[in-house]
Amino acid sequence: MVLHFLIQGRVQGVGFRWYVQREAGQLGLRGWVSNTEEGEVEVVASGSPDELAKLRASLRRGPRGARVDHLVEHYLDDSEAEELSSFRIDGAW
């Protein structure tokens, strides 16, 4: 199963991408996390429904200092998972 998340709120400049990478890595998910130019955080993750539900809960919580106002999600075609490797941060220095 592959899910795409868009997290809105105070989610940039608070360590959100590193938080997501840690949470997703502990769950054994594949995918990536990135900041958007609009000030949101975007996540694509592949894993079991249970693992993705745990990630969803973590995204709603966020790291200390973050404020999640809105979480948008939708399913991607399973073929999208073929391109994914171990969970990484896209666009980090």
What are the residue ranges spanned by the domains of the chain?
Answer: 2-80
Q: How many CB atoms lie within 10 A of CB 3?
A: 21
Three-state SS at 47:
coil
Catalytic residues: 17, 35
Instruction: Compute the distance between CA of residue 24 and CA of residue 54 in angstroms, rounded to an integer.
Output: 9
pTM of the prediction? 0.94
CATH of domain 2-80: 3.30.70.100
pLDDT per position as a tens digit, 22-76: 999 999 999 999 999 999 999 999 999 999 999 999 999 999 999 999 999 999 9
| DSSP summary character for residue 7 | E
